[in-house]
Each structure stands twice: as structure tokens, then as C-alpha cells.
């Protein structure tokens, strides 16, 4: 039984940073509502006829309005700065959580495997079409090299048997991959994604029957099989590939939803365990410092990992 991977300390730290930013946002949003009410209250004290009011009254009102607007603007600026800070923390959480889920969650990994499986099926169909071209050439050669005076016999069908054996292997690969796609789609998307079935292909018993038939009957069937093979290469393959679902977008959406649901659970869990916020302004400054340090660290890491980075 595989052991659940350890929860990464870096992910835990970024979740706590994000939760503290959310906590500050909530507190500052409440504070903004309060100062907006205060601004309205001050506005309500505006003298109805300013030119009839005393200079002292007008100055007192203008000073109060200035203080109210300044206070409101200060809270807005704190919220704006905090929004940028939280965005960076969230980006880090997403990156770390994606890395963790790729290790810890089979369902999450499966959402990335599904497009790979469909791509593998498409590639197998392409290879099958190439082998069908080889089958058509062999069938045509058999008919062209045989007359009533020189009937089929001996090992003349051996090259065709080799081609048909290859066709059977590719057809089995297509069927196996299609079954995997169906299983994983039900797991990841909650619905089936049936891939189109292949047409009936020549097999070894069919080749053996050709060897037992007369020249005329065998030649007629070989010509028909050659024509069917060429038609598959010209139109059948394209029709099959066109019916294959484009699962990349669906899988990306499913993967994103899985991450978001898991993230929201972690977010709420972290928020519930934060201590009460006593000084939002001080906490915002602290988060800003972490934001700057984290941004600098990410910038250095980007330079280090860049193929164009200069040596130290």
C-alpha cells in the first residue's frame, strides 16, 4: 500500500499567507464601509447655504470632509496593494498545489493522461493507415503476378500474411487504447468518451481462405480488399480521426475544478485556524514584506532556470 505523500511545507506557508491576506481584506472591506458611512455623515452636515455660514463653520466642514476622504482613500489604497499581494500568494498556492496533487491524487493525474491516451489512439490509427497502404500494394501485386496458367500456391501469400499480422497488432492496440480512454473518461469527466470502431480488417484466416480459392475468385476478392484498403487510407482514416473527441479542453476544465475544490477546502481549513486579527495595517505591511521577498525569490529562480542565464 503506497504511503500518502507528505504535505509540502512551502504549500502550507503559502496557504497561510493567502489566508492572512483574505483575513486582512475582510477586515479592510468592513473598515471601508465604515469610513464611507462616516463620509456620508459628514456630507450630511454640509451647511445648506454655505455663503450664509460663518467662515469657521465652513472651515470645520471642509476639514472634516478632507479627513473623511483621506481616510477612505487610505483604506482603498491598502485594499489595492493587498489585492496584488494576494494574487501572488494565490499563484504560488496554485503552482505548489498542482505539483502536490500530481503526486498525491490518482484522479488528478488521470485528467492529464486522458488527452495522452486519445493522442495515442490517433497515432495508432495513423500507423494503421500506413499498414493498409502496404496491404493494398501486396494485394495488387498478388493479382498482377498471377494468371490462370500460374495459380496461387506455395509461399506466395507469406508477405501478405506478414502485413495482415501487423494490421491485427495495430487494431488490437487501437481497441485497447479506446477501452482505456473509456475507463479514464468515466473516472475524470463522469461520462464515457467512446472512440469510433475500426472497420473490419483482413486477418490470417481470410488470407488462408484466399489460398484455397481458385484464381478468379481469389483475384476478385483481393481486388475488392485492395480497393477497401485504399478507400480507408483516403477517407476512412480521416473520418475516424474526425470522430475522436477533442478532450483537451474538457480535461483541463475537469483538472481545474478538482484543484479549485481541493483548494477551497484547504483555504477554509486554514482560515478557521488563524488567530484573530488585531492590527490589519501592521499585518498588511508584514504581508507586503513577504510579498517582496517571495517575488524576489521567484525572479532569481526564473533567472537561474533560464537557458539564457549568465554564469555567476
Q: 211-226: per-residue pLDDT in tens?
A: 888 788 888 999 999 9
Contact yes or no for 290/16 (Cβ under 8 A)? no
pLDDT tens-digit map of 68-115: 888 888 888 888 888 888 888 899 899 999 999 999 988 888 888 888
Strand ranges (E), 35-191: none
Give the integer Cα–Cα distance in Å for 220 and 224.
6
Yes or no: say if 195 and 124 are a contact pair by the CB < 8 Å rule: no
Portions of the chain given CATH number 1.20.58: 107-245
pLDDT tens across 160-212, in order?
Answer: 999 999 999 999 999 999 999 999 888 888 888 888 999 999 999 998 888 88
CATH 1.10.3470 for domain 107-245, yes or no, is no
User: How many angstroms separate the Cα of 25 from the Cα of each of 67, 260, 273?
Assistant: 22, 20, 17
The pLDDT value recorded for residue 222 is 92
Q: What is the dihedral of CA 130, 132, 137, 140, to 10 degrees?
A: -160
For residue 275, the surrounding DSSP H or E stretch is none
Lookup result for grid cell 488462408: 208
Q: What mean pLDDT comes out for the span 229-251?
A: 89
Helix or strand run (H / E) with residue 51? none
In this prediction, residue 149 has a pLDDT band, given cuts at 50, 70 and 90, of very low
For residue 175, give the nearest of 197, 191, 154, 190 by alpha carbon. Answer: 197
The Cα–Cα gap between 27 and 69 comes to: 19
CA 239 vs. chain centroid, Å, equals 26
Lowest mean pLDDT among 58-62, 88-92, 148-152: 148-152
- 89 vs 16: CA distance, rounded Å: 9
Are the C-beta atoms of 128 and 289 separated by less than 8 Å?
A: no
Q: What is the pLDDT of residue 1?
A: 44
Calpha distance 153→144 (Å, rounded) = 15
CA–CA separation, 230 and 133 (whole Å): 7
Amino acid at each position: 500500500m503506497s504511503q500518502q505523500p507528505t504535505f509540502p511545507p512551502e504549500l502550507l506557508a503559502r496557504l497561510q499567507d493567502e489566508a492572512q491576506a483574505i483575513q486582512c481584506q475582510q477586515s479592510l472591506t468592513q473598515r471601508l464601509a465604515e469610513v464611507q458611512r462616516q463620509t456620508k455623515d459628514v456630507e450630511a452636515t454640509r451647511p445648506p447655504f454655505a455663503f450664509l455660514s460663518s467662515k469657521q463653520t465652513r472651515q470645520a466642514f471642509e476639514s472634516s470632509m478632507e479627513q473623511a476622504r483621506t481616510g477612505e482613500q487610505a483604506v482603498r489604497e491598502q485594499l489595492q496593494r493587498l489585492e496584488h499581494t494576494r494574487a501572488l500568494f494565490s499563484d504560488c498556492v496554485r503552482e505548489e498545489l498542482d505539483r502536490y496533487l500530481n503526486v498525491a491524487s490518482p484522479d488528478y493525474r488521470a485528467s492529464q493522461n486522458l488527452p495522452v491516451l486519445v493522442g495515442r489512439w490517433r497515432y495508432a490509427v495513423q500507423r494503421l493507415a500506413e499498414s493498409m497502404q502496404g496491404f493494398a500494394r501486396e494485394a495488387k501485386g498478388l493479382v498482377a503476378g498471377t494468371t490462370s496458367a500460374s495459380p496461387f500456391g506455395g509461399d506466395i501469400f507469406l508477405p501478405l500474411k506478414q502485413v495482415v499480422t501487423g494490421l491485427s497488432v495495430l487494431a488490437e492496440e487501437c481497441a485497447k487504447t479506446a477501452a482505456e480512454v473509456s475507463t479514464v473518461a468515466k473516472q475524470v469527466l463522469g461520462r464515457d468518451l467512446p472512440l469510433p470502431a475500426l472497420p473490419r480488417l483482413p486477418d490470417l484466416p481470410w488470407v488462408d481462405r484466399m489460398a484455397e480459392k481458385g484464381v478468379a475468385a481469389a483475384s476478385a476478392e483481393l481486388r475488392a480488399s485492395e480497393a477497401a484498403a485504399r478507400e480507408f487510407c483516403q477517407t476512412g482514416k480521416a473520418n475516424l480521426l474526425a470522430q475522436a473527441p477533442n478532450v483537451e479542453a474538457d480535461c483541463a476544465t475537469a483538472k481545474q475544478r478538482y484543484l479549485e475544490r481541493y483548494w477551497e477546502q484547504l483555504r477554509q481549513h486554514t482560515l478557521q485556524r488563524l488567530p484573530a486579527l488585531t492590527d490589519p495595517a501592521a499585518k498588511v505591511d508584514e504581508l507586503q514584506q513577504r510579498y517582496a521577498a517571495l517575488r524576489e525569490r521567484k525572479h532569481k529562480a526564473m533567472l537561474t532556470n533560464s537557458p539564457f542565464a549568465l554564469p555567476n
